[in-house]
Amino acid sequence: MSRLTVLGGGSWGTALAMVLAPRYERVSLWTYEADLAKEMAAGRENKVFLPGFRLPPNIDVSSALEESLRGATMVLGVMPSTVLRQVYTDAKPFLPPAVPIVSATKGIERGTQKRMSEIIAEVTGRGRIAVLSGPSFAREVARGEPTLVVVASAEQALCEEIQRAFTGPTFRLYMSLDPVGAEVGAALKNVIAIAAGICHGLGLGSNAMAALITRGLAEITRLAVSMGAKPATLAGLAGLGDLILTCTGELSRNRRVGVELSKGKNLEEITGSMRMVAEGVENTYSAVELARRQGVAMPIAETLYAIFTEGKSPHDALRELMERPAGLEA
């Protein structure tokens, strides 16, 4: 029996379970919260994270890892980056042998500066790990709207296997052999999206937004290439595509953080009021740590870091960013 296990019952995990349900005989959706799992199993809806969408009948919901992973032929991880290491540590004893693991978690671990796939490999001791990324809001995927994403791995055969398994009428996968570029692009676009939210909240126009996205992409590309990524990856779905969506889309949680910062709210107040995780906050710290280690200039990320750690006002921080000496575009 083909069985997909989705680890993470937030909005994105639930949406992926729904769009992939027709591709599998059974789908196991694991969520950490036992009360939410019971509610979803009984009501067939994720009223907390993705209300308004009925779960297909072949989706089983559980908060027990052993039960959720039993018989899995594919594992798809969609948990927040801050808990990924612990979830895979707990899941390791129950992972079926040689099962492919697909990571849809977007982030870089603070302190170690490791990508999510590196952590999975370290914790589980497994190979056959791929990355899923690209411009994709959960609600639009759940509605069945056309969505194009990327599956990335250094193993082409694994990419092909996942592409065949996941591609459907409204969910199309392209392949990439550059997991570094896909993961760095996925993590850092959330950082730039917070800055985009600040620009929007301050009432700046399209000129400023276009410049921010372009220069943000330059920062992301510089860092990714310093880590061995291919520049072309950052110009594709996992880079520019995801960046545009997250910086401009009304459904973007990270953009919303920036909008609230522009109103003078502090970061703790903003994140404390959000049920879903805005990965860009944690990844701002990780990005600055990683950029400094790699010797790469990331002025937009550094500006956000100053807002987070020094209490600098978004208006003043943006002014200082604009007053930086301008050199060659690169």
**CA-closest candidate to residue 308, choices 328, 282, 327:** 282
Amino acid sitting at position 206? S
Distance between CA atoms of 329 and 166, rounded to whole angstroms?
Answer: 39
Catalytic-residue membership of 263: no
230 DSSP assignment: -
Contacts of 228 (CB under 8 A, 6+ apart): 180
Closest CA to 313 of 273, 266, 270, 269: 266
Q: Catalytic one among 38, 47, 106, 189?
A: 189
Q: E-assigned strands of the chain? A: 3-7, 26-30, 45-46, 50-54, 59-62, 74-77, 101-103, 129-133, 147-152, 171-176
- Beta-sheet strand order (sheet of 26-30): 59-62, 26-30, 3-7, 74-77, 101-103, 129-133, 147-152, 171-176
Alpha-carbon distance of 162 to 173, in angstroms, equals 9
Q: Which residues are catalytic?
A: 189
